[in-house]
Amino acid sequence: MAEVVRMPKMSDTMTEGVIAKWHKKVGDKVNSGDLIAEVETDKATMDFESYQEGTLLYIGPKEGEAVAIDAVIAVLGEEGEDYQALLDGGDAPAAKEDAKEEKAPESKEEDTDEDAGSGDESVSAEDLDCTVITMPLLSDTMTEGVIAQWNFKVGDTIKSDDAIADVETDKATMEVTAYADGTLLHIGVEAGQAAKVNDIIAIVGPEGTDVTPLLNQKSGSAKKAQTETKSEDKPAAKEENKAEATTTSEDDDARVKASPLARKIAKDKGINLNDVKGSADGGRIVKKDVEGFKPAEKAEAPKAAATSSAPATETKSITLPQYIGEEKYTEQGISQMRKTIARRLGESLFTAPHFYLTISIDMDNAMEARGQINTVAPVKVSFNDIVIKAVAVALKQHPAVNSSWRGDKIRFNEHVNVGVAMAVEDGLLVPVVRFADGKSLSHISAEVKEYGQKAKAKKLQPADWEGSTFTVSNLGMFGIDEFTSIINSPDGAILSVGAIQQIPVVKNGAIVPGNIMKLTLGCDHRVVDGATGAAFLQTLKGLLEAPIRLLA
């Protein structure tokens, strides 16, 4: 049966979306999870994946056209199926149902299944005057969300602007708005459980409405597939168990029951375990059985040897105290943030060819300049703030480093948005200092501090972490001398900042104390070459060693 595809709500402030690009055309086969389009929202351009299967029968808006939320943008169904009734606002054609009525049933069970299925498919949310609320795509990297808490319960009356639930995404906890007036009829996911994007999480409609047909319609095909999988797995599992049991039985009959330690001692002493009687359960041979074993034919030999001659040397035995330890561990579920970090950094490392360049910076002048700046600055400026400002100025001079790989083209960004990696309890967030080249050190410092507080409180919004063109990661405050970082895609490079170390340096032919900081530039070799990255680091070195140039 044909189904409509509607414009999803991809952010909490989105009212309409623009079709940036179609990845499928009419007539193409679409599977659940396939990328069918790119949608430009008020905050970002996001991928739109289908959660339906079938042939793409109809595409409504063209690329570049804006579409309101929940408007029909496409239709999926069987090849050649008539879908015009869906576009006119009516129900799907009943041609197949008429054909089923004329066809003679083969068995009572099949009649029952078909009748139940057709009854479920013939009911839509519009027929019941209900609104189905699905898990929204709240960030460009989100694949599923966890219901942190429900603000209403089944039977409560809600308004269209009510926040019915709090959803934990991979980066923040955000509110889900109902966008419908009525009674909360169904809650599909309990608090603490995860749901994939576009899965049903609630249904709103007139009080007393039976929404069972809607739920059966969504779950019918999944249950059938699950049943088929289980029925296929059972015979194979039985055969494997049977074969395994037979192998174990044959192995047990072919060897003597003994502990590994007893086997080792017996091998060292040349004792045949078939001659040893086991004292453990089931006649199993253990260490004391082997150590206490005396062959019958050699029982008197030790006595004769002892009486005939005294031992030439005495062997001292060392007794080690026995230590008994306990193996234990704890496990915890993976958070949404950690799942996304694992996925995105894995994609970056194994997709972008990384190479690294390291340079040493003399920070004596920067340390002196920072002390003077903080005597007059409205907020305290850190070394990281100075690095961010220097990076922004250097990127304006080296646009090739301020670029990103876009598959069939390279994007050279004329604006400079510096992402600042921040460690939080669940992982890592990268809020963005936008247009950093035009901001003062005090402005950058205040902005980074605000982002740090919001990140720890999980209050960052998608607009705070989207749109970086370059990233700075600083572990100097943890005493790390130097390190390498994985590029924050789609950026073309990332800078790793180490600690300032006091080491001997040579100046004017003399060895004197110096303050040295190491910077490591990680580059995507598809967009940044070695010489290009080296030239950028030379410019950055000059700015940090003569920080007065940052104020010019």
> Band of the pLDDT at 390, cuts 50, 70, 90?
very high
What number is the average pLDDT over the span 501-515? Answer: 91
CA 128-130-131 angle, to 5 degrees, is: 150
pLDDT of 368 reads 94
> In CATH terms, are 3-86 and 126-207 the same topology?
yes
For residue 212, pLDDT over 80 is answered with: yes
pLDDT of 306 reads 45
> Band of the pLDDT at 43, cuts 50, 70, 90?
low
Would you call 468 helix, strand, or coil by DSSP? coil
pLDDT of 211 reads 82
Is-contact 44 72, C-beta < 8 A?
A: no
In terms of average pLDDT, the best of 8-17, 170-179, 444-453 is 444-453
pLDDT of 103 reads 41
For residue 443, pLDDT over 90 is answered with: yes
What are φ and ψ of residue 359, in 5° steps?
Answer: -140, 150
CATH topology assigned to domain 3-86: OB fold (Dihydrolipoamide Acetyltransferase, E2P) (2.40.50)
Q: Which residues contact 395 (CB under 8 A, 6 or more apart)?
A: 401, 402, 416, 418, 437, 469, 470, 536
**Distances from the Cα of 78 to the Cαs of 3, 28, 54, 88, in angstroms?**
10, 11, 6, 19
pLDDT of 379 reads 94
pLDDT of 289 reads 84
What number is the average pLDDT over the span 99-126? Answer: 48
Least confident of 75-79, 267-271, 521-525: 267-271
For residue 327, pLDDT over 90 is answered with: no
pLDDT, tens digit, for every residue of 366-380? 999 999 999 999 999
Q: What is the mean pLDDT of the chain?
A: 81
User: How far from the centroid of its chain's Cα atoms is residue 63's Cα?
Assistant: 30
> Would you name the residues annotated as active-site residues?
525, 529
The better pLDDT of the pair 221, 35 is held by 35
User: What is the rounded distance in angstroms from the CA atom of residue 249 to the CA atom of residue 302?
Assistant: 41
DSSP codes joined into one string, 279-316: -SGGG-B-HHHHHT---GGGSSHHHHHHHH---SSPPP
pLDDT of 96 reads 39
Is-contact 427 338, C-beta < 8 A?
A: yes
Would strands 470-474 and 493-507 be described as parallel, antiparallel, or unpaired? parallel
Sheet holding 200-205, edge to edge: 131-134, 200-205, 182-187, 157-158
For residue 491, pLDDT over 70 is answered with: yes
pLDDT of 544 reads 96
The better pLDDT of the pair 446, 116 is held by 446
Q: Following CA atoms 343, 344, 346, 349 in sequence, which dihedral angle do they give, to the nearest 10 degrees?
A: 180
What number is the average pLDDT over the span 164-168? Answer: 87
DSSP codes joined into one string, 228-273: HHHHHHHHHHHHHHHHHHHHHHHHHHHS--B-HHHHHHHHHHT--G
User: What is the rounded distance in angstroms from the CA atom of residue 470 to the CA atom of residue 392?
Assistant: 9
> Band of the pLDDT at 280, cuts 50, 70, 90?
confident
pLDDT of 314 reads 62
User: What is the rounded distance in angstroms from the CA atom of residue 92 to the CA atom of residue 79?
Assistant: 14
What number is the average pLDDT over the span 188-207? Answer: 88
User: What is the rounded distance in angstroms from the CA atom of residue 58 to the CA atom of residue 30?
Assistant: 12
pLDDT of 255 reads 55
User: What is the rounded distance in angstroms from the CA atom of residue 274 to the CA atom of residue 252?
Assistant: 14
Would strands 66-68 and 16-22 be described as parallel, antiparallel, or unpaired? antiparallel
**What are the respective helix, strand and coil percentages of the chain, to the nearest 5?**
35, 25, 40
For residue 295, pLDDT over 80 is answered with: no
pLDDT of 219 reads 55
Domain 348-550 has CATH 3.30.559.10: yes
For residue 498, pLDDT over 60 is answered with: yes
pLDDT of 163 reads 84
The better pLDDT of the pair 397, 39 is held by 397
pLDDT of 122 reads 61
Is-contact 27 54, C-beta < 8 A?
A: no
Place of tokens 């089931």: 282
Is-contact 184 205, C-beta < 8 A?
A: no
Give the number of residues written for the chain: 552
For residue 490, pLDDT over 70 is answered with: yes
Least confident of 36-45, 238-247, 419-428: 238-247
In terms of average pLDDT, the best of 71-80, 308-317, 348-357 is 348-357
Place of tokens 């009959």: 253
Place of tokens 């390190």: 483
Would you call 436 helix, strand, or coil by DSSP? helix
Is-contact 176 165, C-beta < 8 A?
A: yes
pLDDT of 524 reads 96
What are φ and ψ of residue 323, in 5° steps?
Answer: -115, 125
pLDDT of 112 reads 42
Is-contact 436 389, C-beta < 8 A?
A: yes
Give CATH for domain 126-207: 2.40.50.100
The better pLDDT of the pair 448, 134 is held by 448
- Tell me what percent of the residues of the chain surpass a pLDDT of 70: 81
> Band of the pLDDT at 354, cuts 50, 70, 90?
very high
User: What is the rounded distance in angstroms from the CA atom of residue 484 to the CA atom of residue 354?
Assistant: 10
pLDDT of 313 reads 57
CA proximity to 172, closest of 202, 146, 200, 190: 146
pLDDT, tens digit, for every residue of 542-551? 999 999 998 8
Q: What is the pTM of this model?
A: 0.53
Domain range list for the chain? 3-86, 126-207, 348-550
